[in-house]
Protein backbone atom coordinates (compact mmCIF):
# COMPACT_ATOMS: atom_id res chain seq x y z
CA UNK A 1 0.00 0.00 0.00
CA UNK A 2 1.32 3.43 -0.88
CA UNK A 3 2.07 5.25 2.38
CA UNK A 4 0.93 8.72 1.35
CA UNK A 5 -2.29 7.60 -0.30
CA UNK A 6 -5.24 9.89 0.32
CA UNK A 7 -8.45 7.99 0.96
CA UNK A 8 -10.80 10.72 -0.24
CA UNK A 9 -12.49 9.55 -3.44
CA UNK A 10 -10.45 6.34 -3.42
CA UNK A 11 -11.41 2.90 -2.20
CA UNK A 12 -9.76 2.50 1.21
CA UNK A 13 -7.65 -0.58 1.89
CA UNK A 14 -9.35 -3.45 3.75
CA UNK A 15 -7.71 -2.40 7.03
CA UNK A 16 -10.00 0.62 7.18
CA UNK A 17 -13.20 -0.91 5.83
CA UNK A 18 -15.70 -3.17 7.49
CA UNK A 19 -16.88 -5.93 5.16
CA UNK A 20 -20.41 -4.52 5.10
CA UNK A 21 -19.65 -0.87 5.87
CA UNK A 22 -21.56 2.20 4.72
CA UNK A 23 -20.88 3.89 1.41
CA UNK A 24 -17.68 5.92 1.38
CA UNK A 25 -18.21 9.54 2.31
CA UNK A 26 -15.73 12.28 1.46
CA UNK A 27 -13.55 13.26 4.40
CA UNK A 28 -14.09 16.67 5.97
CA UNK A 29 -11.11 18.98 6.36
CA UNK A 30 -10.64 18.00 9.99
CA UNK A 31 -10.99 14.29 9.20
CA UNK A 32 -8.44 14.57 6.41
CA UNK A 33 -5.95 16.44 8.59
CA UNK A 34 -6.29 13.99 11.47
CA UNK A 35 -6.29 11.02 9.10
CA UNK A 36 -3.01 12.10 7.51
CA UNK A 37 -1.37 12.11 10.94
CA UNK A 38 -2.92 8.80 12.01
CA UNK A 39 -1.69 7.04 8.86
CA UNK A 40 1.87 7.63 10.10
CA UNK A 41 1.04 5.99 13.44
CA UNK A 42 0.39 2.34 12.73
CA UNK A 43 0.25 -0.20 15.51
CA UNK A 44 0.05 0.09 19.27
CA UNK A 45 3.79 0.62 19.59
CA UNK A 46 3.55 3.90 17.66
CA UNK A 47 0.67 5.96 19.13
CA UNK A 48 0.26 9.71 18.69
CA UNK A 49 -1.16 11.81 21.48
CA UNK A 50 -4.27 13.92 21.07
CA UNK A 51 -2.24 16.98 22.01
CA UNK A 52 0.30 16.26 19.28
CA UNK A 53 -2.57 16.00 16.77
CA UNK A 54 -4.00 19.29 18.05
CA UNK A 55 -0.62 21.00 17.71
CA UNK A 56 0.03 19.62 14.21
CA UNK A 57 -3.43 20.45 12.88
CA UNK A 58 -4.39 23.56 14.82
CA UNK A 59 -7.67 21.84 15.73
CA UNK A 60 -9.27 22.05 19.16
CA UNK A 61 -9.52 19.04 21.48
CA UNK A 62 -13.21 18.75 20.64
CA UNK A 63 -12.57 18.84 16.87
CA UNK A 64 -9.81 16.22 17.09
CA UNK A 65 -12.04 13.89 19.09
CA UNK A 66 -14.93 14.47 16.67
CA UNK A 67 -12.71 13.78 13.64
CA UNK A 68 -11.40 10.55 15.19
CA UNK A 69 -14.93 9.44 16.09
CA UNK A 70 -16.12 10.19 12.55
CA UNK A 71 -13.20 8.39 10.91
CA UNK A 72 -14.06 5.32 12.98
CA UNK A 73 -17.88 5.46 12.79
CA UNK A 74 -18.51 6.99 9.38
CA UNK A 75 -15.47 5.82 7.43
CA UNK A 76 -14.72 2.50 9.16
CA UNK A 77 -11.13 3.32 10.05
CA UNK A 78 -9.84 1.01 12.78
CA UNK A 79 -8.46 3.55 15.20
CA UNK A 80 -7.22 2.31 18.53
CA UNK A 81 -6.48 4.28 21.64
CA UNK A 82 -4.11 3.47 24.47
CA UNK A 83 -4.48 5.10 27.84
CA UNK A 84 -1.48 5.67 30.02
CA UNK A 85 2.09 6.16 28.89
CA UNK A 86 2.82 6.07 26.07
CA UNK A 87 -0.78 6.76 25.25
CA UNK A 88 -2.47 7.99 22.16
CA UNK A 89 -4.22 7.00 18.97
CA UNK A 90 -2.99 4.61 16.29
CA UNK A 91 -4.16 2.59 13.31
CA UNK A 92 -4.99 -0.97 14.34
CA UNK A 93 -2.99 -3.40 12.21
CA UNK A 94 -3.04 -6.66 14.15
CA UNK A 95 -5.30 -8.61 16.47
CA UNK A 96 -2.90 -7.73 19.31
CA UNK A 97 -3.36 -4.02 18.48
CA UNK A 98 -7.13 -4.48 18.60
CA UNK A 99 -7.04 -6.29 21.93
CA UNK A 100 -4.81 -3.62 23.48
CA UNK A 101 -7.02 -0.81 22.17
CA UNK A 102 -10.43 -2.26 23.00
CA UNK A 103 -9.64 -3.43 26.53
CA UNK A 104 -10.09 0.10 27.89
CA UNK A 105 -13.36 0.52 26.03
CA UNK A 106 -14.68 -2.80 27.33
CA UNK A 107 -13.94 -1.81 30.92
CA UNK A 108 -15.55 1.59 30.36
CA UNK A 109 -18.67 -0.03 28.86
CA UNK A 110 -19.00 -2.48 31.76
CA UNK A 111 -18.66 0.37 34.26
CA UNK A 112 -21.29 2.38 32.42
CA UNK A 113 -23.60 -0.65 32.26
CA UNK A 114 -23.36 -1.05 36.03
CA UNK A 115 -24.29 2.61 36.47
CA UNK A 116 -27.26 2.17 34.13
CA UNK A 117 -28.34 -0.93 36.02
CA UNK A 118 -28.47 1.11 39.21
CA UNK A 119 -30.25 4.05 37.60
CA UNK A 120 -32.75 2.61 35.12
CA UNK A 121 -35.81 0.41 35.54
CA UNK A 122 -35.59 -3.15 34.20
CA UNK A 123 -37.79 -2.48 31.14
CA UNK A 124 -35.55 0.40 30.01
CA UNK A 125 -32.40 -1.68 30.62
CA UNK A 126 -33.77 -4.50 28.46
CA UNK A 127 -34.62 -2.03 25.70
CA UNK A 128 -31.11 -0.61 25.85
CA UNK A 129 -29.58 -4.11 25.82
CA UNK A 130 -31.44 -4.78 22.56
CA UNK A 131 -30.17 -1.52 21.06
CA UNK A 132 -26.63 -2.37 22.09
CA UNK A 133 -26.89 -5.88 20.60
CA UNK A 134 -27.99 -4.38 17.26
CA UNK A 135 -25.18 -1.82 17.36
CA UNK A 136 -22.50 -4.44 18.03
CA UNK A 137 -23.51 -6.91 15.32
CA UNK A 138 -22.76 -6.48 11.63
CA UNK A 139 -25.69 -6.21 9.26
CA UNK A 140 -27.06 -9.70 8.67
CA UNK A 141 -24.99 -11.21 11.50
CA UNK A 142 -26.81 -13.31 14.08
CA UNK A 143 -26.08 -13.40 17.79
CA UNK A 144 -27.23 -17.02 18.00
120 three-state secondary structure: coil
The values of phi and psi at residue 84, to 5°, are: 100, -155
Q: Which H/E stretch holds residue 26?
A: none
CB 94 within 8 A of CB 59: no
Reported as a single tens digit per residue, the pLDDT across 49-104 is 999 999 999 999 999 999 999 998 888 899 999 988 778 999 998 889 988 888 87
Q: Which H/E stretch holds residue 117?
A: helix 95-119
Which region among 7-16, 56-65, 135-144 has the lowest average model confidence (pLDDT)? 7-16
Neighbours of 70 (CB within 10 A): 18
- Look at residue 103 in the predicted model and tell me its pLDDT: 83
Task: Tell whether 86 and 101 lie within a shared domain.
Answer: no
- Look at residue 14 in the predicted model and tell me its pLDDT: 46
Q: Which H/E stretch holds residue 37?
A: helix 29-38
Task: Tell whether 102 and 71 lie within a shared domain.
Answer: no
Task: Tell whether 70 and 19 lie within a shared domain.
Answer: yes
Q: How many domains does the chain have?
A: 2
Task: Tell whether 102 and 85 lie within a shared domain.
Answer: no
Task: Tell whether 100 and 44 lie within a shared domain.
Answer: no
pLDDT band at 144; cut points 50, 70, 90:
low
Task: Tell whether 8 and 79 lie within a shared domain.
Answer: yes
Where in the sequence is the domain holding 19, given as residue range(s)? 1-93
Ramachandran area for residue 105 (φ above 0: left; ψ -120 to 50: alpha; else beta)? alpha
- Look at residue 25 in the predicted model and tell me its pLDDT: 64
Task: Tell whether 78 and 126 lie within a shared domain.
Answer: no
pLDDT band at 19; cut points 50, 70, 90:
very low
Distance CA 87, CA 21 (A): 28
Amino acid sequence: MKEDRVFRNEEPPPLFRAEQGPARLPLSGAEGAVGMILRRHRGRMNPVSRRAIEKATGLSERDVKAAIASLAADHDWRIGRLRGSPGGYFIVETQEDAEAAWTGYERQMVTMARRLRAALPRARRLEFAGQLRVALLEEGESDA
